[in-house]
Amino acid sequence: MRPSLLCLLFSTLLSLAAEPARRPNVLFIIVDDLTTTLSCYGDKVAHTPNMDALAARGVRFEHAYTQFALCNPSRCSFLTGCYPERTQVYDLSTSLRVGLPEVVTLPQAFKNAGYLSGRIGKVFHVPDPKTKLDIELTTPLNLDNIILRESKLAQESEGDLSDPVRTKGRKDVTYNKPYGPSNHPDKDFTDYEIATRAINSLDAWKDKTFFLAVGFIRPHTPYVAPKIFFDQVDRKQITLTPFYQEGGENLSLVPKAALRPNNNVFSLKQANAVESIDAHQAYVASAAWADSQVGRVLNKLKELHLDENTIVILTGDHGYQLGEHGLWAKQTLFEGSCHVPLIVAAPGIKPAVCKGLVEQVDIYPTLTGLAGLETPKSVQGTSLQSLLLDPSGKGKPVVFSTMISTHTKFMGHSVSTDRFRYIEWDEGRAGYQLYDHESDPDELHNLAGKPIQVDRLKRMQTRLAAHLKSVTAENPKPAGDTVK
């Protein structure tokens, strides 16, 4: 080979060696009101093959928790990496910019790093004017509302008149049972349109480096889905919660603040046992419908061979009560509302299940860390990279959730270890709760008043006080690369 060609080859190899590896894409999937009713989490009634397949090629976090079981506060928390006490967002209308006017949100962090960045469907609950992205496509919510009304008319025509309607003071109709199957084709539903927009975006960006957040709506009420998803649910597999079983549930030791009277479902009249089965079926059906649309997006990712260099993360914005303690809603501090699915699949990450405690506030530093970006100092979460590499490692010693009682307006906080959950309302003035998940996973027996638990309560209170002091400080703790 001539010297000139050797020099050319050598210089080309040096150039290739110096060229940095292409940064990974990010696909962040958020499923509204999705609790751990997934087959991969052991739910016997669920039909979630696409989320299960994602879990089978990634790390499924067995014990992940939201910081606030309500859409806006939760999303503000994990999209900033800050606890609610730092964001100061506790309701559905407050902008994260009120408490954090200059914070860099998660999509912003990737856009600032040179990524094409976009959001489709429900990502932020309250639109953030400072998060200007390359793609911003909203949610056509009216589609499913029309389908619900038609479903109710169909029920009435078949003689079902048992669903009272409240219209006073509202532009939309409120049903006591906001669920029902539909014969509409897939394309008529909200989540089908969201998935289509995501698919088109992936097509447009297939040759670029991107961060794309996609927010699906179901299983948020109304629980509407194509009839086939209702038909595939085996109602005989649905177990009545203790509240609906013979003899009911003793709630006398539960503080008033803990039991919201205004459910998202059955808001006008409490359900009976049969109606609780109906509602559970409808929730599972609408979750299965959302799963089918998640599958469309993931299939497109694979079709374009983008799955080979894309971090995929899937979670719900919080959990949901499905009849536990008679509740059909979020906005509680019970396990059902706070426990969330969290699945991470990424290049170089081996499939596994992690049983350590983690929080949604950890999502932000995990994604920036995996992508090799600098994590803003404002972020209070802790990167889960060490657990992704070694899922058998220890998670956090405790995790925290916050809530404002819907009817008493008392502030509540929960502290969970790998065995116990402690809850206090109004700094204890409005009541305490303590549950041993080893012997009482359904949280039926409040141990807070037991003399034998006095020391445990004090330890939990000390941990909570230290946490609140830390996260409300002017200089919040920086994110780390390991979970302590």
Average pLDDT score over the chain: 92
| pLDDT class of 159 with cuts at 50, 70, 90 | confident
**Residue indicated by tokens 């060609």:** 5
Report the distance separating Cα 360 and Cα 402, nearest Å.
13
Domains and CATH numbers, the chain: 23-384 (3.40.720.10)
Lowest mean pLDDT among 39-48, 260-269, 328-337: 260-269
> Peptide bond preceding 185: is omega within 30 degrees of 0, i.e. cis?
no
Burial classification of residue 403, based on how many CB atoms lie within 10 Å of its CB (0-12 exposed, 13-18 middle, 19 or more buried)? buried
| pLDDT class of 174 with cuts at 50, 70, 90 | confident
Q: What is the pLDDT of residue 473?
A: 65
pLDDT in tens, 414-426: 999 999 999 999 9
Report the distance separating Cα 158 and Cα 181, nearest Å.
14
Q: Residue 27 above 80 pLDDT?
A: yes
Q: Residue 480 above 90 pLDDT?
A: no
pLDDT in tens, 268-317: 899 999 999 999 999 999 999 999 999 999 999 999 999 999 999 999 99
HEC sequence for the chain: CCHHHHHHHHHHHHHHHHCCCCCCEEEEEEECCCCCCCHHHCCCCCCCHHHHHHHHCCEEEEEEECCECCHHHHHHHHHHCCCHHHHCCCCCCCCHHHHCCCCCCHHHHHHHCCCEEEEEECCCCCCCCCCCCCEEECCCCHHHHHHHHHHHHHHHHCCCCCCCEECCCCCCCEECCCEEEECCCHHHCHHHHHHHHHHHHHHHHCCCCEEEEEEECCCCCCEEEEHHHHHCCCHHHCCCCHHHCCCCCCCCCCCHHHCCCCCCCCCCCCCCHHHHHHHHHHHHHHHHHHHHHHHHHHHHHHHCCCHHHEEEEEEECCCCCCCHHHCCCCCCCCHHHHEECEEEECCCCCCEEEEEEEEHHHHHHHHHHHCCCCCCCCCCCCCCHHHHHCCCCCCCCCEEEEEECCCCCCEEEEEECCCEEEEEEHHHCCCEEEEECCCCCCCCCCCCCCHHHHHHHHHHHHHHHHHHHHHCCCCCCCCCCCCC
Report the distance separating Cα 473 and Cα 408, nearest Å.
27
Of all residues in the chain, the percent with pLDDT exceeding 70 is 92
Report the distance separating Cα 434 and Cα 446, nearest Å.
5
pLDDT in tens, 217-239: 999 999 999 999 999 999 999 99
Handedness of CA 359, 362, 367, 369 (dihedral sign): negative
| pLDDT class of 168 with cuts at 50, 70, 90 | low
Tally the C-alpha atoms within 13 A of residue 155's C-alpha that lie toward its C-beta: 18
Reading the block at residue 263, the tokens are 């459910």
The answer to whether 89 touches 83, Cβ cutoff 8 Å, is no
Q: Identify residue 316 by its one-letter amino acid code.
A: G
Report the distance separating Cα 14 and Cα 26, nearest Å.
29
Report the distance separating Cα 229 and Cα 245, nearest Å.
26
Report the distance separating Cα 388 and Cα 347, nearest Å.
11
pLDDT in tens, 426-471: 999 999 999 999 999 999 999 999 999 999 999 999 999 999 999 9
| pLDDT class of 158 with cuts at 50, 70, 90 | confident
The answer to whether 188 touches 152, Cβ cutoff 8 Å, is no
Q: What is the pLDDT of residue 45?
A: 97
> Peptide bond preceding 222: is omega within 30 degrees of 0, i.e. cis?
yes
pLDDT in tens, 370-411: 999 999 999 999 999 999 999 999 999 999 999 999 999 999
> 71-80 and 363-370 helices cross at what angle (nearest 10)?
30
pLDDT in tens, 41-95: 999 999 999 999 999 999 999 999 999 999 999 999 999 999 999 999 999 999 9
Rg of the chain in Å (alpha carbons): 23
